[in-house]
Amino acid sequence: MRSGGIFDIAAKERRVAEIDVIAGAADFWNSQDRAQVILKERTQLTQIVERFRAQEKAIADAIELNELAKADGDESMGPEIAAALATSATAIEQIELDRMLSGEFDRSNAIVSINAGAGGTESQDWAQMLTRMISRWCERRGFRIEVVDELPGEEAGLKSVTFTAAGDFAYGYLQSEIGVHRLVRISPFDANARRHTSFASVAVLPELDDTIDVTIEEKDLRIDTYRAGGAGGQHVNKTDSAVRLTHLPTGIVVQCQNERSQHKNKSVAMKILKARLYERERALKDAKMDQIQGEKTEIAWGHQIRSYVLQPYRLIKDHRTEVEVGDVDRVLDGDLDGFMRAFLLQRK
């Protein structure tokens, strides 16, 4: 019950009241972008307050029920009360986890890119398995997933895929998956049933809202259109709806072929390009600061953040937090919460 101080619920309720006053002003909608940002803040604050108040009530009800049971000498209600308190404890732990996501973009939608490493079909199949794992986690959280670009492998799997995950704290949670993922298993593509090691990388960017200004000069941009490949119907295959953007000064290339409209594909590609340019500038500043402080952090292919061993034993280990899970099927089906929680605690 004392958790209210940790979450500062009263301050959040005061801020909601302030926003209601601001939203009631006659000129509130003069700036659509500003209005949307403010209303989004209100929604996020309201969700935290409502979630906390709901658990506060559930705990109070459980305590009251326990007092009544004690007064009546009724021990049969014990398991029900214990279960209710356990449920509330889990819910409050989740609220606490969300509270740790206080970074500039932690609440933002996420742009996820997965790329197969060297190794042909093996790594491409692993890239597809990773895509399914992360997508399943997103679905369980109620996030909306939209594939932006996808390049299938020649025989199986994916060479690369980019998709957006829309939902509260999407970037905050999914940044725990950034890095190289290593798989060890008996290859289903090897007639001799030999053990193979495969790698695939995951990159996650925050989707920038309209309050973040990233200027892209027209002269610095090359726009190419081409015919979208893969499934999608006759319209996709017969029109140059896909768009590829190349930012000439940096060499960053972004493409989108998911939408039927060339205009929509360009809009989505521009959004991803802005996110990548912003992240690049932030990374350059971080690298400069590391140089000033004399810090060196090696981020290279093969320096995996997590290993998924299916043979000769079954174990998934996160090398950053030392968290290990033996139920590999559960993790590969999208149960990443344990790894994410440990990552966020370590980061704090």
pLDDT score at 289: 47
- With a cut of 80, say whether residue 25 has pLDDT above it: yes
**What are the residue ranges of CATH 3.30.70.1660 in the chain?**
110-207+305-347
Answer for the pair 62, 85: CB distance below 8 angstroms, yes or no: yes
Beta bridge partners of residue 304, listed in sequence order? 180
Identify the weakest region by mean pLDDT among 80-84, 182-186, 300-304, 328-332. 300-304
Q: What angle do CA 195, 199, 205 make, to 5 degrees?
A: 155
CATH of domain 218-293: 3.30.160.20
pLDDT of residue 290: 55
Whether residue 160 has pLDDT greater than 80: yes
Domain 3-100: top CATH class: mainly alpha
DSSP state of 30: G
CATH number belonging to domain 110-207+305-347: 3.30.70.1660
Average pLDDT over residues 13-42: 91
Q: What are phi and psi of 197, to 5 degrees?
A: -115, 125
Inform me whether the pLDDT recorded for 193 exceeds 90: no
pTM of the model: 0.68
pLDDT confidence bin for 163, thresholds 50/70/90: very high
Task: Please list the residue range(s) of the chain that carry CATH number 3.30.160.20.
Answer: 218-293
Mean pLDDT of 173-185: 94
**What are the CA-CA distances from residue 47 to residues 16, 42, 152, 231, 259 (Å)?**
11, 9, 39, 39, 32
The DSSP string of 37-106 is: HHHHHHHHHHHHHHHHHHHHHHHHHHHHHHHHHHHHT--TTHHHHHHHHHHHHHHHHHHHHHHH--STTT
3-state secondary structure of 259: coil
Give Dmax (Cα) for the chain.
81
Instruction: Tell me where in the chain the CATH 1.20.58.410 domain(s) lie.
Output: 3-100
Contacts for 137 with CB less than 8 Å, ≥ 6 apart:
334, 335, 336
Q: Is the pLDDT of residue 292 over 50?
A: no
Number of residues written out for the chain: 348
Smallest CA-to-CA distance from 96 within 64, 132, 60, 55 is with: 55
To which residue do tokens 């890119």 refer? 113
Query: Residue 32 has what pLDDT?
Result: 86
